[in-house]
Every structure is written in structure tokens, then in C-alpha cells.
Amino acid sequence: MQQYYTIMDAPGLRPPAEIRPLNRKYAWLDSAEILDKLVEFRQDDLYRVTLFVPSIHCSSCIWLLENLERLDAGISRSMVNFVKKEVTITWDNQKTTLRRIVQTLAEIHYEPEITLEDVEKSRSGKVNRRIVFQIGVAGFAFSNIMLLSLPDYLAHKEGLELAFRNFFGWINLLLALPVVVFSAFDYYASAFGNLRKGILNLDVPIVIGILTLFGQSLYEIISQSSPGYFDSLSGFVFFLLIGKWYQGRTYQALSFERNYKSYFPVAVTRITTEGEEETVLLREIKKGDRLLIHNQELIPADGVLVSGDGLINYAFVTGESLPVTKHEGEKVYAGGRQTGGAVVVGIEEEVEQSRLTKLWNQASTSDAPHPVTKLVDKVSRHFTSGLLVVASLTLVGWLWWDAPFAVQAFVAVLIVACPCALALTLPFAYGTTMQLFGRQGLYLRETGVVENLASVSAVVFDKTGTLTLSDERLVEWHGEVLSAAEQSAIRSLCRNSVHPLSQAVSGFLEAGVEPVAGFRELPSRGLIGVVNGVEIRVGSASWLGISQISTALGSVVHVVTGGVHRGWFTVANRYRDGLSQMVPFLEKLGPIHVISGDNDAEAPRLRAILGSKALFTFNMTPADKLEYIKTLKNKGFHPLMIGDGLNDAGALLEAHAGISVADDVYHFSPASDAILEASAFSRLGSFVGFARKTLTVVRLSFAISILYNILGLTFAIRGLLSPVVAAILMPASSVTVVIFVTTMIHLLGRKSFKT
């Protein structure tokens, strides 16, 4: 099963103890009214829902739940929020239904808790109470069995009188039954449930160990040969459950989730009651507000189209790239991208910036595993089967040499060897780094981006909006004097776009706004639309068929109205602070490239800042930028692409790692692997350097994990490790790795970022 079940010791919880079949239990989910309340997105036959699954406990659970399409072909995508114990599922309602999906989850013992009320407080309580009860039962039995076994221990060689030994043995059996039946039930549910699906998980050796100890002890009680191993059995389950509970608390304490209050400051344009436009942060948006959504901007919350013609691309939400036409009065959903002229959306739900974060996280740019992750997957893939072989050989060997020790040695081997510590290294090392980067202004899509950043070997910058400051531009008009109507038409056209040059021109013109018909934005070329019956074109000279104008003032934006060239705007750029200071470090990573859709007027200034070794290419289309990145990769480079996410989305996606630079107010682009706050631009080199330090910590943690497994197996095979001690060491090793990794990375972070 490839990566399946790589960490922890107890994924699933109990299956539903219902007498009625699952296909009847969830019949109520076929109700259209219930479906409307549960579904958070619906477009034709494509549906999306988020379910609370309390039995999510480890990364093995995450892997299975994020690969549900293997169990149900109608599911197109599933994503897990580990801390909230939620799974978000997108499906084709023609191929499957919510009822079937929930039944499938219940069959593999991940039954969702579905309620239409706010049950956030009761959710955590239910999960915690159950495991506390299991620990309590196991602890009670363990302590009393140890007390009743004490006389036999003290009797030593003489041995306890047979009648007392048999009496205490039967009482121990009665005490151990609740442990085996109730406390250990979750392990059976997970192991046997997944075996029915053809999945061999880490709960299999645990269940084998429990049943072996119980069976051997039961035989010895019945045959009156010894008091059995009920003390070891109850202690074994008791300490496993404590480890499971403690690991869950550890994960919650070291959460890597970023809520909307600590996330990057995405902003939008709100229309006031007086009809004025104002820029506000998403967290300030309220129900009932009207938002102006420009071309290529995301809709931040569910609402209704108030004015304009919507052409909404929901690829960010569903993965489906075909845009959907929307008319006034129709509902639109958060995460949709407008791909035509500007529209006005009336907000019906509170803005959840965390929803955009979740969508961004799930939009993986590549299915190819990272090299270090691939190594862990390879080890984990064969670990359980290899462990069963080693345990079986240990059992056979001890049965040959010293049968009384065979069972204990067999169980100790099954328990002490675990890939948990090895597999925990990556999520906690990368997760802690991701958390640290977020505090410094770099927000990663997912933890694997850390590994990509650590291995970059070339740096590619887009110029406009990336190296230049979007809000500090000097704009001048060159040409015939524009009438008020012409200025209004040009501003109306540019207002629909979020490109830095369009925004600069729109901000420069002080004129009214008119409706724009047939608006189109051609990336790296320009804008076209009809205002008051006159076609307006704004863009590059090559696209408009005009001779190039040489200027040292910066970028040039030409204007054609009614087929007549009226003149051009020059937009002078100011470059970001800290650019020249980080050049020496970036040169150590590899060659520095600058690619731009603008002309080469500012090439001398850029060369003075970036050095003589930097490579420059101008007048590039988005397709040219994409091919440029592909060419670098074909040459063996791992390019880091830094852009603004507008005309370079394809290049950002294709790059080994793509970073979108964002000002305090900016257009949110999900095409990148990371978003860098403009204020943190000068720390770009430090981020890459710290990613490399993280990989060093990962290698050290791997060494600790491997050493633990070697030592543990050595003692267990030799019969020097009891099942109880093995049960203590198993979760202890995981916690040790977590503490080592997070502590080391935080210490390195303080040194690197002076925090």
C-alpha cells in the first residue's frame, strides 16, 4: 500500500455497535434537505462536504482518508485537517452519494460524527472520555492483577500453593477480560477492518501480540501449569493507550495550522453605501457587504452576483478548469476565480480566510514525492511485513531453545520495533519550519515545500510586481491631451485588471467609471474592452502593432481608442529594499535570472543591483516564462521562481519551488508553493538557508530513530525486554523524536532570524 500507516500505534476507533446494517443506518443522508445543509459547495454534479471524523489519530489515518478514491471511484478528492479531525471530500454525485461515502468511512472504522448543530465543544469531550475510560479500565485491571500476582512473585522458587495460584489465576482472567474486550477493542477494529480491505497496518502486530498473550495465558490457567501473563497483557494495553493519548495531546500542542487571524493579509475592494471603493482586509468583511471582484481575483466568501457577468473558474475548489457562466442573482462560492470583467458580489456568509487557506493547501502542484519522503515511504512500505517475519523467527528460535520465554520475546519484538519515530520526523520537522516561516512572513502551501526550497539550484525573478514596488510608481502621460470621456474610458478598462501597471494607470487617472463591455485581459499583452460604444485597447507596443519606444523611465503602456494610437503612459519603477544585500547568498545557490514581459529599458539598473553574472530576458509572454523554467529543469537545475502570481502562474507551477510576493494589499494567487510578504522580501536568502538546516536536523533524527529500532530489537530478540517495557518504549521513542526535532529547529530559528 505504498506510504500507508507510517506512524503511531492506534489509528482507528471502534466500528459502530449498531445492529441494523450500515446501508439502512445512513438512509437519512439521501434527504435533499439534509444534503443542502451539509454540502458547502455544489456545481452541477460536483459536490463538496466537510465531515468531522473523531477517529483520526495519526498520519496513517491521513493517508487512508486522503486516498478514498481508491475505495470509491466517485470521489475525486479528499483532504484531512488533522488537528480538527475533519476530512473534506469532493465527489461526483452521478457516480456516488454522500450516503455511500459515509458508509464507506464507517466500514473502515472512520465513522463521521454528523450533526447540524454547533458541537465543537462536545466533539473533543466525547473522544477524550472514551480513551480515558479505556485507560481507566486497563489501569484498574493492571494494578489489581499485579497485586494478586505478588504472592507468586514473592514465593519465587518454592512457588505458591497450587490452590491459591489457580484461584488468583482465574480472578486475573476475569480482570483481564474487560482489558482485552473493551480497552483493546479499537486495535481489533482497525486491524481487522483494514485487513478486509487488503491493508496491512501497524495495528496487526499489536493485535497479534495481545491475542498471543491472552491465548497463552488462558491455556496455562486451564492446564494449571502457571498463572499466565495477564499482568504483562494488561500493562501492555495500559501503556499503549497512555502513549496514544499523550501523542494526541502532543500533536495538538504542536499544531501547524494557521488560522485566518495569523495568516497573510489578503485584501479586497469593498463598495461603500455611498458607492465609493475602499480596500479592506478579509477579516473586516461582513455579511451584506458588496465586493468588487476584478478579473483573475478570487471570490473570498459565498455570495450572490449583484452586477456584471460572471465567468467563474472553480478549479481552485474542485480541480475542474472549465469556467462556469453566472448571471445576476445567482449564487457564487468562495474560492471561485472571476475570469472576465469586474463584477460585484453581495456577501451572504461571513468571510472564512481559513477556507481559502485550506483550498490553497489542498491544491497540490505535483504528485511526485519528495526524495526524503520517498525514502521514508520505502522503509515504511515493508516495515510491518518485515517485523512479522523477525517476530516469527524469534518465536521459533525461543521455542527451540527455551519455550517459556518464547511468547514474551515474540510479543516484545512485535511492539518495540516501530517506524513511528522515523515517520514522525518529517511532519514535525517540516511542520515546525513551516510554522516558523509563517511568523517571519513566508507562508508555505504544505510541509513538503521545505524540502524543495532546500534543494534549489537556480533563482528566477519576475520583474514587474516582484522586484518592483507596486504602490510606489511614477506615472506620466505622453501624447495628445485626453478628454474627460477618454480618461474615464481608459480608467474604466484598467480598473478591471489587477496587474500592477493597470492599477498604476487606473490610480493615476482622476475620472469617473463607466461600464465595460466585452472585457478581456491578455496576459503580458494588454486589455481590451468597449466603453460607450468605443473599443479601447491598452497594452504593449508589440501587441498593438506600434513601434517600440526607447525610454529610461521604466515600463510603457500604450493606449489605442477607436483604432487610433493616442499615446502612452510611462511607469517608473522603484525596486524593493534589501535586494542587493541578498544577492551574494543567492549567487551561492546558483545563477540568478530575471524574466519579464516588459521591455529592457531598466536592464542597466537591474544589472547594477544584481551583478554582472545575472541573466536577463525581456518581452516574454506567460508561455515564454513557462518554457524558460522547463528549459532550466531540462538542463538539470532546480529553479526557484519568484513572481507575483499574475502573468507567471504557469512558471510558478512548473518551478521546483514557486514563491509569490505579496504586498499588504494584493491579488491572492494560489498558483505558488509559498506566499512571501513584501516586508519579508529581504529575508528570502535566509529562508532558503534555513530550509537546508532543517534537512540536517531531519538526518540527525533519522539516525536517532534507526538507532532506537536496532537497540530495541536487539534486546527484544534476546528475551531481555518484557512486553510491558516495550509498550512504554514504543510511544516514548516517538515523543523523544518530536521533542528533539522541534527543539532543534526552534533553537536554529532563533539564531537565523534573531527571534
Quickly tell me which residue has 469532493 as its cell: 90
With b for 16 or more beta-carbon neighbours within 10 A and e for fewer, the 271-308 pattern comes to: beeeeeeeeeebeebeeebbbbbbbbbbbbbbbebbeb
Query: Looking at per-residue confidence, does 663 or 39 come out higher?
Result: 39
pLDDT at 640 over 90: yes
Predicted local confidence at residue 567, as pLDDT: 92
Positions of CATH 2.70.150.10 in the chain? 263-353
Write the secondary structure of 8-64 as one string of H (helix), E (strand) and C (coil). Answer: CCCCCCCCCCCCCCHHHHCHHHHCHHHHHHHCCEEECCEEEEEEECCCCCCHHHHHH
pLDDT at 76 over 90: no
Whole-number Å distance between alpha carbons of 636 and 627: 14
Domain 441-467+577-690 top-level CATH class: alpha beta
Instruction: Pick one of 3.40.50.150, 3.40.1110.10, 3.30.230.10, 3.40.640.10 as the CATH number of 474-572.
Output: 3.40.1110.10
Q: What percent of the chain has pLDDT over 70?
A: 76
Predicted local confidence at residue 426, as pLDDT: 74
Query: What kind and span of H or E run contains 639?
Result: strand 639-643
Q: Which residues contact 490 (CB under 8 A, 6 or more apart)?
A: 482, 505, 509, 511, 536, 538, 559, 561
DSSP category for residue 441: T
Selection from 224-233, 362-371, 647-656 with the highest mean pLDDT: 647-656
C-alpha cell at 393: 523467527
Predicted local confidence at residue 730, as pLDDT: 64
Confidence of residue 464 (pLDDT cuts 50, 70, 90): confident
Write the secondary structure of 679-748 as one string of H (helix), E (strand) and C (coil). Answer: HHHHHHHHHHHHHHHHHHHHHHHHHHHHHHHHHHHHHHHCCCCCHHHHHHHHHHHHHHHHHHHHHHHHHH
Report whether 497 contacts 521 (CB < 8 A): yes
Count of all residues that appear for the chain in the document? 755
Whole-number Å distance between alpha carbons of 234 and 92: 47
Q: Which amino acid appears at position 330 of this protein? A: E
Burial label, 588 (beta-carbon count in 10 A; 0-12, 13-18, 19+)? exposed
Query: Looking at per-residue confidence, does 694 or 128 come out higher?
Result: 694
Query: Looking at per-residue confidence, does 60 or 594 come out higher?
Result: 594
Predicted local confidence at residue 382, as pLDDT: 64
For the stretch 64-67, contacts whose Cβ atoms lie closer than 8 Å and that sit 24 or more positions apart, written own/partner, are 64/4, 64/5, 64/11, 64/108, 64/110, 64/194, 64/199, 65/105, 65/110
Average confidence (pLDDT) over 108-112 = 81
Whole-number Å distance between alpha carbons of 209 and 196: 19
Average confidence (pLDDT) over 478-491 = 90
For the stretch 100-103, contacts whose Cβ atoms lie closer than 8 Å and that sit 24 or more positions apart, written own/partner, are 100/72, 100/74, 101/68, 101/72, 101/74, 101/75, 102/26, 102/29, 102/51, 103/22, 103/23, 103/26
Predicted local confidence at residue 106, as pLDDT: 82
Quickly tell me which residue has 489519530 as its cell: 57
Q: Which residues contact 353 (CB under 8 A, 6 or more apart)?
A: 260, 263, 266, 282, 283, 300
pLDDT in tens, 164-175: 667 878 888 899
Predicted local confidence at residue 360, as pLDDT: 64
Alpha helices (H) in 557-599, listed in sequence order: 579-589
Confidence of residue 592 (pLDDT cuts 50, 70, 90): very high
Average pLDDT along the chain: 77
Q: What percent of the chain has pLDDT over 90?
A: 12
Positions of CATH 3.40.1110.10 in the chain? 474-572
Q: Which residues contact 95 (CB under 8 A, 6 or more apart)?
A: 73, 74
pLDDT at 263 over 50: no
Strand bridging mode 564-572 / 474-479: antiparallel
Predicted local confidence at residue 580, as pLDDT: 81
Positions of CATH 3.40.50.1000 in the chain? 441-467+577-690
Average confidence (pLDDT) over 392-404 = 80
Positions of CATH 3.30.70.100 in the chain? 22-116
How is domain 22-116 classified at the CATH fold level? Alpha-Beta Plaits (3.30.70)
Whole-number Å distance between alpha carbons of 423 and 328: 51
Which region among 112-121, 310-319, 368-377 has the lowest average model confidence (pLDDT)? Answer: 112-121
Query: Looking at per-residue confidence, does 730 or 81 come out higher?
Result: 81
pTM: 0.62
Predicted local confidence at residue 731, as pLDDT: 62
Does domain 263-353 fall under CATH 2.70.150.10? My reply is yes
Whole-number Å distance between alpha carbons of 275 and 298: 21
Confidence of residue 744 (pLDDT cuts 50, 70, 90): very high
Average confidence (pLDDT) over 281-306 = 83
State whether residue 139 is helix, strand or coil.
helix
C-alpha cell at 249: 495531546
Average confidence (pLDDT) over 668-697 = 84
Query: Looking at per-residue confidence, does 474 or 744 come out higher?
Result: 744
State whether residue 545 is helix, strand or coil.
coil
Whole-number Å distance between alpha carbons of 397 and 718: 10
Query: Looking at per-residue confidence, does 560 or 703 come out higher?
Result: 560
pLDDT at 156 over 70: no
pLDDT in tens, 324-375: 888 888 888 887 888 777 889 998 877 665 566 666 655 544 445 566 666 6
C-alpha cell at 402: 527455551
Predicted local confidence at residue 120, as pLDDT: 37
Report whether 315 contacts 338 (CB < 8 A): no
pLDDT in tens, 206-221: 787 788 778 878 877 8
Whole-number Å distance between alpha carbons of 515 and 493: 9
Which region among 29-33, 117-121, 539-543, 650-654 has the lowest average model confidence (pLDDT)? Answer: 117-121
Which region among 253-257, 301-305, 350-354, 560-564 has the lowest average model confidence (pLDDT)? Answer: 253-257
Predicted local confidence at residue 646, as pLDDT: 62
Predicted local confidence at residue 1, as pLDDT: 38
